[in-house]
Amino acid sequence: MNNKIIIAIDAMGGENAPSKNIEGVSIYLNMNNKQKDVYFNLYGDEILIKRELDKYNISSDYYKIFPSSTIVSDEETPLTAIKNSKDSSMWNSINSQIISNSNITLSAGNTGVLFVVSRMLLKTIETVSKPALAGLWPNEKNTNVVLDLGANVECDDKNLVDFSEMGAALYKALFPDDNPKVALLNIGSEEIKGTEVLKKAFAKLKDISKHGDFEFNGFIEGNKITDGKSNVIVTDGFTGNIALKTAEGTAKFITDSLKKSLSSTIFAKISVIFSFFALKKFKSKLDPRKFNGAIFLGLKGPVVKSHGSTDAIGFYYSIDLCYRIIKGDLMNKIKNNLSHINNESN
C-alpha cells in the first residue's frame, strides 16, 4: 500500500448502487492497467458489494470492504443528517480519511447531506472563510473549473477571493501543464460593472494575482464562459448554480432539437449514416459524463460528489477525477495559495 492513492467510495450512493459504482471501479482498473498505484476502500453492504466485485473479477489486491449498516436516503435533509446518517456508507467513507488511510472520498449520494457531514467530520481549513462546490465545464480549448455551484447562496468579497485561490489550486492539480486564469462572472466586463461585492473582489484579486498563483482576467460575461480565455470561473453559489443549470438546459434543448430535425425526413435519416462518426465525435466531446464530479473545496480533506443519476462510465470519470486530485497534490496547493491571501489582506 506504499505510495498508493487510496480512494474511499460510498458504494451505496446514487441510482443503481452498488452496481454502477463497482462497475465504475472495474472500468477504471481496466483503463489504467499499467498504473497500479490505486486502492479502493469500499463502504456499504458487504454481500451486495462482493457480488458486484466478483461479477467483474476484480482482484482483492485493489480493495477492502468496510461493512456499513445504513444508507443515506435521498429524502434526508441536511438539518437532520448528522443525527440520522451515523455509520452509513456515506458517513464512514468520509470518516475513513480520519480513522483509516483514505486520501479522498467519493459519493454519488445526497448532496446536501454529503456537504454537511463532510464539513462536520473533516472540518473547514482555518483560513478559509467558506468551503465551496467546484465543477468542471467544457470550453473551446480544454476544461473550466467553475465555483461556487450552490454551497453558498450569498457570498462576500473575501469568499470570492478564497474561491479564486482554491479554484486555481484545483486547476493546477488537474492540469499541471497549463496555467490557471481566473475570471469573475459579471454582467459586464468593465471594472465599474456589477455589485459592490464584485467590485471589491476585483480590486483584491488584481493585487493578489501578483503572487503568480493565477492570471487574473477581470470580469467576464456569461457568453464568455466557454471561450477558453479564462479557465477558473468564480461566482457566488446562487449565480453559479443558475449558470450551470441554464447551460445544461440549453445544451439539452439544442441537442434535442437537432435529433428531432435529423429524424424528420428520410433524407435527413440517410445523412446520419454518412455523418455517423462525425456526430459520434461531436457527442463524445460534449458527453456530460466526462465532466461528472463536483469537488468540495476548503475542507481539510478532499470530497468528490458524483451525479446520482450517472451510469458506470460517469462514475468511472469521477474516480479518475479523485485519482488526479491526489496525484496533483491538491491539498498542498490549496494551502500554498491561501497563504498568499492571508499575508495580504489582514
273 is an interface residue for its own copies by CB under 8 A? yes
Q: List the x/- string, 204-233, binding to its own copies by CB under 8 A.
A: -----------------xxxxxxx------
Burial of 228 (0-12, 13-18, 19+ CB in 10 A): middle
254 is an interface residue for its own copies by CB under 8 A? yes
Q: Which one among 101, 142, 195, 343 touches its own copies, defined by CB under 8 A?
A: 195
Q: Which one among 36, 206, 210, 252 touches its own copies, defined by CB under 8 A?
A: 252
For residue 64, the 8-state DSSP code is: E
What are the CA-CA distances from residue 143 to residues 135, 166, 205, 263, 279 (Å)?
Answer: 10, 16, 22, 31, 21
Q: Edge-to-edge strand order for the sheet containing 294-297?
A: 63-67, 38-44, 5-10, 104-107, 303-305, 294-297, 132-138, 143-147, 232-234, 181-185, 215-220
Query: Other CB atoms closer than 10 Å to residue 277's CB: what's the count?
Result: 8
Neighbour-count burial for 130-157, b at 16+ CB within 10 Å, e otherwise: bbbbbbbbbbeeebbbbbbbbbbeebeb
342 is an interface residue for its own copies by CB under 8 A? no
237 is an interface residue for its own copies by CB under 8 A? yes
Q: Which one among 9, 12, 205, 243 touches its own copies, defined by CB under 8 A?
A: 243
Min separation Cβ 74 and its own copies, Å: 13
Look-up: residue for cell 443558475?
A: 242
For 303, the 3-state DSSP assignment is strand
Min separation Cβ 123 and its own copies, Å: 25
Cα–Cα distance for residue pair 65/58, rounded to 1 Å: 12
CA-wise closest residue to 149 among 255, 259, 297, 321: 297
Closer residue to its own copies in complex, CB, 262/313: 262
Closer residue to its own copies in complex, CB, 117/133: 133
Options 32-40, 166-174, 265-273, 289-297: segment touching its own copies (CB under 8 A): 265-273
Q: Which one among 103, 129, 159, 239 touches its own copies, defined by CB under 8 A?
A: 239
Min separation Cβ 179 and its own copies, Å: 22
Query: Of residues 143-162, which lie at the interface with its own copies (CB under 8 A)?
Result: 150, 153-154
Q: Which one among 49, 173, 205, 244 touches its own copies, defined by CB under 8 A?
A: 244
248 is an interface residue for its own copies by CB under 8 A? yes
Grid cell, residue 155, equals: 457570498
Min separation Cβ 47 and its own copies, Å: 35
145 in Cβ contact with 136 (< 8 Å): yes
DSSP per-residue letters across 72-123 = --TT--HHHHHHH-TTBHHHHHHHHHHHS--SEEEE-S-HHHHHHHHHHHH-
Look-up: residue for cell 460517469?
A: 314
Grid cell, residue 186, equals: 459579471
Q: Which one among 82, 120, 279, 313 touches its own copies, defined by CB under 8 A?
A: 279
How many residues lie near its own copies (CB under 8 A)?
A: 60
Min separation Cβ 230 and its own copies, Å: 12
131 is an interface residue for its own copies by CB under 8 A? no
241 is an interface residue for its own copies by CB under 8 A? yes
Options 54-62, 168-176, 279-287, 293-301: segment touching its own copies (CB under 8 A): 279-287
270 is an interface residue for its own copies by CB under 8 A? yes
Footprint of its own copies on this chain (CB under 8 A)? 138-140, 150, 153-154, 185, 187, 194-195, 221-227, 235, 237-239, 241-258, 260-262, 264-265, 267-268, 270-279, 281-282, 285-286
